[in-house]
């Protein structure tokens, strides 16, 4: 059997930073080609980078949220592009603003179909949400690492809430061990 941890793919990295000053988003939207600002729909300005592919949500407060990146390196690269564009518009941005990873969403495949009803009971009802009429996946809240795993009958899983890339691997290894311990894998 292939190792499920080998199938892990990062789908999205969300990180935040700030430039420590208020921004005039209307002016910024005019000066930043490709920026999207529609305050009736969303209070922030959206600026997309193509390489790496990511979206920066820039708020009036100077806070910036980067989403859609496929790695932590891509987050740093995309935000670096944003910082340079802002500096090019004479907006002072310190040399190396602190960037905090808020959430890493990953997917993996356990390689076996899962009996979600049996898993809901076996994993302990206090850590599980499973209402198949509402959502086809089982929601499992793990303490260590502190992530949420969505398990689907197909054996596919989504890990969310991680702050480090290692969190997904640790979570997959832990969930496989628990499912095997219950005799419900394969």
**pLDDT tens digit string along 79-88?**
999 999 999 9
Chain-centroid distance of CA 15 in Å reads 8
What percentage of the chain exceeds 70 in pLDDT?
A: 99
pLDDT digits (tens, 9 = 90+) for 37-94: 999 999 999 999 999 999 999 999 999 999 999 999 999 999 999 999 999 999 999 9
What percentage of the chain exceeds 90 in pLDDT?
A: 94
Structural element, H or E, at residue 78 = helix 72-88
The verdict on domain 14-100 having CATH code 3.30.310.10 is: yes
pLDDT digits (tens, 9 = 90+) for 124-173: 889 999 999 999 999 999 999 999 999 999 999 999 999 999 999 999 99
User: Start-end ranges of CATH 3.30.310.10 in the chain?
Assistant: 14-100, 109-180
DSSP line for 94-133: -SS---EEEEEEEEEE-SS---HHHHHHHT-GGGEE--TT
Q: What pLDDT sits at residue 2?
A: 74
Closest CA to 75 of 152, 125, 16: 16
How many helices (H) and strands (E) in the chain? 4, 10
In CATH, what number does 109-180 get? 3.30.310.10
Q: What pLDDT sits at residue 185?
A: 81
Q: What pLDDT sits at residue 128?
A: 96
- State pTM to two decimals: 0.92
33 cis-preceded (ω within 30 degrees of 0): no
């Amino acid at each position: 059997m292939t190792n499920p941890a080998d199938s892990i793919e990062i789908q999205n990295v969300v990180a935040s930073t700030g430039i420590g000053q208020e921004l005039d988003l209307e002016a910024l939207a005019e000066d930043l080609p490709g920026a999207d600002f529609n305050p009736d729909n969303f209070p922030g300005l959206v600026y997309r980078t193509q390489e790496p592919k990511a979206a920066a949500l820039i708020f009036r407060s100077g806070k910036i949220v980067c989403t859609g990146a496929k790695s932590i390196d891509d987050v740093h690269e995309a935000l670096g592009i944003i910082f340079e564009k802002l500096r090019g518009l004479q907006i002072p941005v310190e040399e190396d603003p602190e960037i905090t990873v808020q959430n890493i969403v990953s997917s993996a495949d356990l390689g076996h179909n899962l009996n979600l009803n049996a898993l809901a009971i076996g994993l302990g009802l206090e850590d599980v949400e499973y209402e198949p009429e509402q959502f086809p996946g089982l929601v499992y809240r793990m303490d260590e690492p502190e992530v949420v795993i969505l398990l689907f009958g197909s054996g596919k899983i989504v890990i969310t809430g991680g702050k480090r890339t290692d969190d997904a691997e640790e979570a997959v290894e832990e969930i496989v061990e628990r499912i095997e311990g219950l005799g419900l894998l394969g």
